[in-house]
Amino acid sequence: MIYFTDHDIDRLIEDDVPMGDMTSLLLQLNSSDGSISIAARHPMVVCCTEEAKRIYEKAGLTVTQMLPSGTYLQPGEVFITAQGKADAIHLIWRTGGTLMEYASGVATRTRLLIEKAKPFNEKISVAGTRKHPPFLKKVALKGLLAGGGVPHRTGLSDTILIFREHLCFVGGYDNLPAVISQVRNQQKERKIVVEAHNEDDALKAAHAGADALQLDKLSPETLTSIALKSRAINPHICILAAGGVNAENAAAYAKAGADALVSSWMYFGPPADIQVKIDVTEK
Amino acid sequence: MIYFTDHDIDRLIEDDVPMGDMTSLLLQLNSSDGSISIAARHPMVVCCTEEAKRIYEKAGLTVTQMLPSGTYLQPGEVFITAQGKADAIHLIWRTGGTLMEYASGVATRTRLLIEKAKPFNEKISVAGTRKHPPFLKKVALKGLLAGGGVPHRTGLSDTILIFREHLCFVGGYDNLPAVISQVRNQQKERKIVVEAHNEDDALKAAHAGADALQLDKLSPETLTSIALKSRAINPHICILAAGGVNAENAAAYAKAGADALVSSWMYFGPPADIQVKIDVTEK
Amino acid sequence: MIYFTDHDIDRLIEDDVPMGDMTSLLLQLNSSDGSISIAARHPMVVCCTEEAKRIYEKAGLTVTQMLPSGTYLQPGEVFITAQGKADAIHLIWRTGGTLMEYASGVATRTRLLIEKAKPFNEKISVAGTRKHPPFLKKVALKGLLAGGGVPHRTGLSDTILIFREHLCFVGGYDNLPAVISQVRNQQKERKIVVEAHNEDDALKAAHAGADALQLDKLSPETLTSIALKSRAINPHICILAAGGVNAENAAAYAKAGADALVSSWMYFGPPADIQVKIDVTEK
Amino acid sequence: MIYFTDHDIDRLIEDDVPMGDMTSLLLQLNSSDGSISIAARHPMVVCCTEEAKRIYEKAGLTVTQMLPSGTYLQPGEVFITAQGKADAIHLIWRTGGTLMEYASGVATRTRLLIEKAKPFNEKISVAGTRKHPPFLKKVALKGLLAGGGVPHRTGLSDTILIFREHLCFVGGYDNLPAVISQVRNQQKERKIVVEAHNEDDALKAAHAGADALQLDKLSPETLTSIALKSRAINPHICILAAGGVNAENAAAYAKAGADALVSSWMYFGPPADIQVKIDVTEK
Amino acid sequence: MIYFTDHDIDRLIEDDVPMGDMTSLLLQLNSSDGSISIAARHPMVVCCTEEAKRIYEKAGLTVTQMLPSGTYLQPGEVFITAQGKADAIHLIWRTGGTLMEYASGVATRTRLLIEKAKPFNEKISVAGTRKHPPFLKKVALKGLLAGGGVPHRTGLSDTILIFREHLCFVGGYDNLPAVISQVRNQQKERKIVVEAHNEDDALKAAHAGADALQLDKLSPETLTSIALKSRAINPHICILAAGGVNAENAAAYAKAGADALVSSWMYFGPPADIQVKIDVTEK
Amino acid sequence: MIYFTDHDIDRLIEDDVPMGDMTSLLLQLNSSDGSISIAARHPMVVCCTEEAKRIYEKAGLTVTQMLPSGTYLQPGEVFITAQGKADAIHLIWRTGGTLMEYASGVATRTRLLIEKAKPFNEKISVAGTRKHPPFLKKVALKGLLAGGGVPHRTGLSDTILIFREHLCFVGGYDNLPAVISQVRNQQKERKIVVEAHNEDDALKAAHAGADALQLDKLSPETLTSIALKSRAINPHICILAAGGVNAENAAAYAKAGADALVSSWMYFGPPADIQVKIDVTEK
């Protein structure tokens, strides 16, 4: 459950309508009543309907139906309906819509990645990185979770991930035994993940005691080789395929032996396409 | 000049690092000095370097070089460099990076749209809609401007745009003469834009005195016909092509007689690809 | 519909009561129940009752009656009543009161301006500027709308308004043909308004193709002359009277031919005077 | 020293320019340099120049001269000058201006009240209430202080002020001896102020041990009588004249024997009038 | 009534759960229902149950029972119960708990201070200072009030308290007559409190007309002497014992003649110990 | 590096001084200059000097000397000095002071815990929980880090920690094999920590494959037994002693075989005692 504060919801509305909806105001839509109904235009995992509901309610609408985030929809399936003042509908129509479109796009692509990879490794997991567009970490993560993925790391504060760019300050891959030992002495409750860009560095990390290897932009073939050799060193080691992982190569990486696919591919791409219907409520 | 508050900048950092960078902390990187240098991996319009600079400075780094938003870069061109504590570099590397990558992606796609359209209409303008991903209006608009575009509308408070969904509450397209007259009596400083989904409605709007027609998801051929007929009604009328406008059809719409292309296509797509180099500063 | 966030409402309360109501606390008013009832002391357009209601409810009161913003009240008419704990009543009495008093003052003065001008030009509109007191744009605009006015511009992001102070950087009024042409090529969905301080500059702007002239601090006589001559150039040109427009000269400007009165006069002046009655609820 | 946070300053700017200055953008003013200079148009106590300086600097301008809040200016005296990019000047010109105009108006009116009252009571103080327009407590108080006034109470958390509307819940004025005794037992570091609307209630409060009497909307004559009689009861009692105190009756209340004038009159009224000059900086 | 904004409540939740509860998510607790019940483990004054209720409700739980802040509890007494989704219970269990534990600790220690002092001076009051841990003024004050204390000062804006460190800039204790006279002329609605660190300075302050003496870190014996002598000067003077006042010496200071005990001791110490019971709701 | 935003710093100041420092204002301290110097009164690990520096600078002071967080001080050692206007010194003296006092208290107690435990287990680490007082997570964590500790978990989003209260919804300790297997399939980059309250449950967790056991409120003897038996099951298993761990029992738990001590004891207790000296700067 990703928690959106009231302020998050308000910010979305205010961002789009800082000083009122000029068009509805001039058309005096506050004297009419209507309804809004939103449906999928293509198969999709819907996401952020809970937040759209809150947006609608803040505008004074009554939400009459809603499917929860994570629901898989067929084209034409309606996932949220509401009714109320016509000016309130116009106030939040697009704000709710763009939120659900973006989040559902992320969710749907996450699900696609999983569908591509699972046939080749039933236990594989799809982890979304922190490289989402700026300012929308919660939306990106909610989409990821709705699609069946998990967070890789939500930011710098939660896991230990040693990059090549860290190691350049502390002796490089050759010094990993000392580095890992020092880190483990201080912090025992978290795994130590080491990023590697080639087989040589990856095996150094495995030998030095890394709990997981994050293999960046390596081919599935190289990944297979590293997985084999590093598991010989430590059968519990976790192999993460990262860097350019997407729907086209997910199967190959799964087949190659990755325990998890680490990707930001799901965050970028077209928003889910939704169909909005606004109707007059006859009095 | 899109104004980012201090709070905007801080939020980006805090979002990624709510409680410190665990890896750098455990590696004690605060005792090393280094530099960071970022270059384009492909031709791109760079954007949000000013905000990246502020992010870097908030972390305590000194920015030693920076190219302004809107600069067109060749592959390999460095656009920002900074130096300081190694832990400060790791604190903000990705936060600055994902910001510039997203914004530069928007800027580069905006420029592409313009390049596609301008050969067929020197005076055409490319306008970005309010249908960007949630929470990042400023970044989306800064990217749009950096690429040479203009805002279509920044939200509901700035322009008058009458949708079919408005008209259903006030008598439909047939009632446009009365609607437009009422709106114009109240609000004289803004143009009245009417959205239309077919030629019939478009011409009703033109006859009723609309200052601009926003033609949604019509073919270039239909647009040509509407432009011709509506300009016969009002030579100053502005023709906006909207709905699915992208790099592939921009030329066609320009050729068809659009005064402006209204699009959200630039907001979605892969981030610009950048090359980050982090080096140790020898003491 | 001007949207006030929860944070807006909370800020009003917290501003006045950062750390509790010391008097009510020491008097232990939390053990009594009471009611509050507020009436107009003079004819007024009431405004921000919706926000006062939210303030009351946040303090735990039940609002038992409320008239919407925009209602025209006679002296003695009650426009909001509520009941609940005595300490809650004291917590928000003044916060709600000063909000409604200020906003109703703006609304009432806006209505007055309109009443003065309409007899001389049925189609005239009254537009409130962005020159309201700091920090209260939403309240000022809500008052303006409640009184029947419209926003002139809500800030710098929504319209194109070229001041003399802009022109000094781009060639002055003589260069307006080039300036306007350049602006129009980029931005087609907005009118181009040019401010002028004398007839000569105004006519240069009209000749150069301005959609509207904002005539600053000119006499009604000069305005009449400019309106006549500029409408000969462009019959659709919009004439805005601005700078010192108030209830005393509104009729004169309306008579002189202004399409709209642009004013900040309504934002400043005494708050509407209201009568608050607090009673004990016998148990 | 009223402390404005960075967020306060940023909010002022963002309120007016949520998404960039469209006019300056289209005019490409970022390629020109200029200066801004602001002078008084009439005698005034200037206020909030410190905050205007921060606004200017946030926009990238260099402030070249500034007079501090509280300075008494003659017509034509320049109180702030700055230079920098032309688009930055246009970004903040009005935001800084409306802030200083409102605050200087408050300061100037506060000074006027003092000038009216002091000749009749050298030790009188002018106290500003909490009944200022919503959202601008800091600006109102800074203006009050700059003009030589003091806060009456900054809100409900700082002083003990017992209204008739409190007393209706705890036995009325007749029960004041018990009420004051109970309050004093709990809270010994603050004076107990009692509001009264007639002589009878005022003297009951004096007899009951109130430290100060806030006399609401009483005539100077009644105030004289109450002051005389209540000082006979308690020579240290403080007499506050409140309710409709303004520049016209300030002298009368001072003459009548008030120790302090409690007013919100200074918060409402026309903003101070300033003259802004923007010039091109030749390169 | 200390007013917590929605933002305050949200911040508490978000602080602990910025990006969802990873454990509950992986355990798929959203498909189970449960209840939570919290009881005192020792005698305590409970505090912040109102805010815990809001936290629970924001997570979607239904609060089924709740005792108000200020209730004195015996071990085992249940003070809040709620029910709902299991993942919602886990989301806020600790956030609500640590809030109530800290606040109840403050309340219980405040009550203890009062119990120690009252037998020796029925009219003594216990005042909490502004020296609480950073960021939690509201929680500290709510605890103080729940335990029967009052605010000493809520910050620098509400009372006049002259420290030795002020006096060093304005002539020291010897100049107090002039200093106090100047202050009183300006500000008549507030008492003037002077801090003193020895008898000599205390008596200078009493002679100079201070309304209250804050005696910092003096022995009960010295306080007795000062109280006697200063009350001979001014029978209404208020004697405040401050600096290191705690449960062990409260009685001594009460006996010595203090009118109020000024302390920050209640803010620091172990949180109240509570017993949390979470149960499955069988369907 | 715990990142404090500008807003964090501003909030601390504004919390204490919402509307100016009334005392300094009335004493007109803005016309004097002074200096402030702060020293340790006892051996301590100082913390949050960096943030105090920012507080001082925001008030306009110049910081002339500062020791970084984490420095171990002897009594009398000065750790921060600044100079500037006397009213600015009084504005922030206590705000900076209470921040450093609380944080240094946490740091000093953390160091003490480590000193107690290290002699018995050189590799032991001290981890601070999320059970700190509300609203001050950053300060608590900065103190923890400055004293040599590490975060246990910064909140619910970063690690997997399965409580008994989770297990009651998913089959209890007997179902741990299935539970852990399900969790591990989804999330491979994080350790799985299981809390246990007795030896039986602990060993069930070890058998089921937990990466770490968090042993809550068990005696050192029981911990020894569990450590022995669970390491026989999994030599890499991590043993965490939690629940009531403090300076008195830290050695016993270290001796008993804990890999880490998990505690919130350091967050509660007296603030570090500091000596503040404020002096007049002669002109």
Task: Give B163-174 pLDDT, tens digit per residue.
Answer: 999 999 999 999
Residue E283 has pLDDT above 80, yes or no: no
Looking at the domain assignment, is residue E1 inside a domain? no
Q: Is residue B248 less than 8 Å (CB to CB) from chain F?
A: no
Token pair listed for F148: 């040599």
Give residue F1's pLDDT. Answer: 79
Question: Quick check: is D20 in a domain?
Answer: yes
Report in angstroms the alpha-carbon separations of A263 from A144, A254, C8, F185.
11, 13, 39, 17
Mean pLDDT on A124-149? 97
Q: Do D138 and D243 lie in a common domain?
A: yes
Q: Residues E237, E238, E239, E240: is their CA dihedral positive or negative?
A: negative
CA E226 to chain centre: 28
Examine residue D1 and state whether it is found in any structural domain, yes or no: no
Domain-embedded: residue D57: yes
Contact C89, C278 (CB under 8 A): yes
Amino acid identity of A27? Answer: L
Backbone angles phi, psi at A279, to 5 degrees: -130, 155
Residues E241/E215, Cβ–Cβ less than 8 Å: yes
B83 and B135 in a single domain? The answer is no
Instruction: Specify whether D108 is located in the same domain as D152.
Output: no
One domain, residues B91 and B123: no
Which pLDDT band, with edges at 50, 70 and 90, does B206 fall under?
Answer: very high
One domain, residues B155 and B257: yes
User: For residue A155, which residues of chain E lie inside 8 Å, CB to CB?
Assistant: 18-19
CATH number of residue F38's parent domain: 3.90.1170.20
Asked if residue E124 is part of any domain, the answer here is yes
Which chains does E contact via 3+ CB–CB distances below 8 A? A, C, D, F
**pLDDT by position in tens, chain F (length 283):** 799 999 999 999 999 999 999 999 999 999 999 999 999 999 999 999 999 999 999 999 999 999 999 999 999 999 999 999 999 999 999 999 999 999 999 999 999 999 999 999 999 999 999 999 999 999 999 999 999 999 999 999 999 999 999 999 999 999 999 999 999 999 999 999 999 999 999 999 999 999 999 999 999 999 999 999 999 999 999 999 999 999 999 999 999 999 999 999 999 999 999 999 999 998 7
Residue E280 has pLDDT above 80, yes or no: yes
Q: Which residue in the block uniquely carries the two structure tokens 């509305």? A: A13
Calpha distance B248→B98 (Å, rounded): 27
Cα(C37)–Cα(C277) distance, integer angstroms: 5
Rounded Cα distance, C150 and B140, in Å: 29
Residue C282 confidence class, pLDDT cut points 50, 70, 90: confident
Amino acid at B202: A
In a domain, A1, yes or no: no
pLDDT at D260 over 80: yes
Q: What is the pLDDT of residue F283?
A: 73
Question: At residue B283, does pLDDT exceed 90?
Answer: no
Nearest chain D Cα distance for residue F20, angstroms: 4
E141 chain-C contacts, CB cut-off 8 A: 19-20
Phi, psi angle pair for D280, to nearest 5°: -80, 135
Has residue A33 been placed in a domain?
Answer: yes
Contact B127 C189 (CB under 8 A): yes
With CA atoms as reference, the chain A residue closest to F155 would be A158
Give the C-alpha separation, A37 to B166, whole Å. Answer: 15
Contacts of D27 (CB under 8 A, 6+ apart): C162, C166, C169, C170, C179, C182, C183
- Residue E142: its pLDDT value, please? 98
Positive or negative torsion for Cα D128, D132, D137, D143: negative
**Would you state the pLDDT for residue B1?**
79
Contacts of E32 (CB under 8 A, 6+ apart): E85, E86, E87, E280, E281, F169, F170
pLDDT greater than 80 at residue E248: yes
Buried b (16+ CB within 10 A) or exposed e, C245-275: bbbebbbbbbebbbbbbbbbbbbbbebbebe
Report, in angstroms and rounded to the nearest whole number, the Rg of chain C calculated over CA atoms.
23
Angstrom CA distances, C173 to C95, C169, C186, C204, C277, stand at: 48, 11, 20, 7, 58
Q: Judge whether B141 and B128 are in contact, CB under 8 Å.
A: yes
Q: Which of C1, C138, C150 sits opposite A91 (nearest CB)?
A: C1
| Residue A216 and residue A179 share a domain | yes
- β pairing state of A72-73 and A44-45: antiparallel
**Total number of domains in chain C:** 2
Q: How many CA atoms are closer than 13 Å to the CA of B30, on its beta-carbon side?
A: 14
Burial label, D150 (beta-carbon count in 10 A; 0-12, 13-18, 19+): buried
E22 interface with C at CB cutoff 8 Å: no
Q: Does residue D70 sit in the same domain as residue D135?
A: no
Output b/e per residue, E75-105; b: 16+ Cβ within 10 A: eeeebbbbbbbbbbbbbbbbbbbbbbbbbbb
How high does pLDDT run on average in chain E?
A: 97
Cα E222 from chain centroid? 27
Q: What is the mean pLDDT of chain A?
A: 97
Could you give the CA distance from residue E120 to residue E33 in angstroms, rounded to a whole number? 53
Chain D residue whose CA is closest to E258:
D188
Residue carrying the six token digits 């964590």? F141
In chain C, residues with a C-beta closer than 8 Å to the C-beta of D162 are 23, 27
User: Hey, which residues 149-178 in chain E have their CB within 8 Å of chain C?
Assistant: 150-151, 154-155
User: For residue C1, what pLDDT is reported?
Assistant: 79
pLDDT at E164 over 80: yes
CATH of the domain at E210: 3.20.20.70
* Cα–Cα dist D265/D109, whole Å: 8
Q: How far apart are CA B119 and CA D126, in angstroms?
A: 70
Residues A23 and A83 in one domain: yes
- Is residue C227 over pLDDT 90? yes
Question: Is there a contact between F87 and F29 (Cβ–Cβ < 8 Å)?
Answer: yes
The pair of three-digit structure tokens given for residue D246, joined into one six-digit string: 């303004």
For strand C44-45 and strand C72-73, is the pairing parallel, antiparallel, or unpaired? antiparallel
User: Kind of pairing, strands D78-85 and D62-66?
Assistant: antiparallel
Chains that touch F (3 or more CB pairs under 8 A): A, B, D, E
Domain hosting residue D276, numbered range = 6-112+270-280
- 0.90 exceeded by pTM: yes
Distance (Å, whole) CA C220 – CA C257: 8
Share of chain D above pLDDT 90, in %: 99
Average pLDDT over residues A77-94: 97
Q: Where residue D187 falls among pLDDT bands split at 50, 70, 90?
A: very high
Model confidence at D276, pLDDT cuts 50, 70, 90, reads: very high
Q: Calculate mean pLDDT across residues D185-212.
A: 97
* C1–A22 CB contact, under 8 Å: no
Tokens of A150: 């998990």
> Do D154 and E157 lie within an 8 Å CB cutoff?
yes
Report the C-alpha gap between E226 and E199 in whole angstroms: 6
The pLDDT-based confidence of D80 (bands split at 50, 70, 90) is very high
Helix%, strand%, coil% for chain F, nearest 5: 45, 20, 35
**Which of B84, B79, B31 lies closest to B56 in space, CA to CA?**
B84
| B1 in any annotated domain | no
Whether residue A245 sits in one domain with residue A119: yes
Q: State the burial class of residue B197 (Cβ atoms within 10 Å of its Cβ: 0-12, 13-18, 19+).
A: middle
In a mutational test of the C interface, the residue from D156, D179, D211 whose CB has the highest number of chain C CBs within 10 Å is: D156
**Between β-strands D274-280 and E33-40, what pairing exists: parallel, antiparallel or unpaired?**
unpaired
* Distances in whole angstroms, Cα of residue A192 to Cα of each of A205, A213, F160: 10, 9, 15
B159 plus B83 within the same structural domain: no
Q: Which residues make Cβ contacts (< 8 Å) with residue F122, sequence separation at least 6? A: none
CB C151 within 8 A of CB C128: yes
Q: How far apart are CA E68 and CA B128, in angstroms?
A: 53
E86 and E208 assigned to the same domain: no
Cα distance between residue C173 and residue E116, in whole Å: 82
Judge if F246 and F130 occupy the same domain: yes
F188 touches chain B (CB under 8 A): no
Orientation angle between helical segments C199-208 and C176-186, nearest 10 degrees: 50
Distance of CA E237 to the CA centre of its chain: 25
Q: Does E182 touch chain D (CB under 8 A)?
A: no
Interface B-D: count of C-beta contacts within 8 A? 41
Mean pLDDT of the A34-62 span: 98
Tell me how far apart the alpha carbons of residues B233 and B230 are, in angstroms, rounded to a whole number: 5
D190 torsion bin: left (phi>0), alpha (psi -120 to 50), beta (else): beta
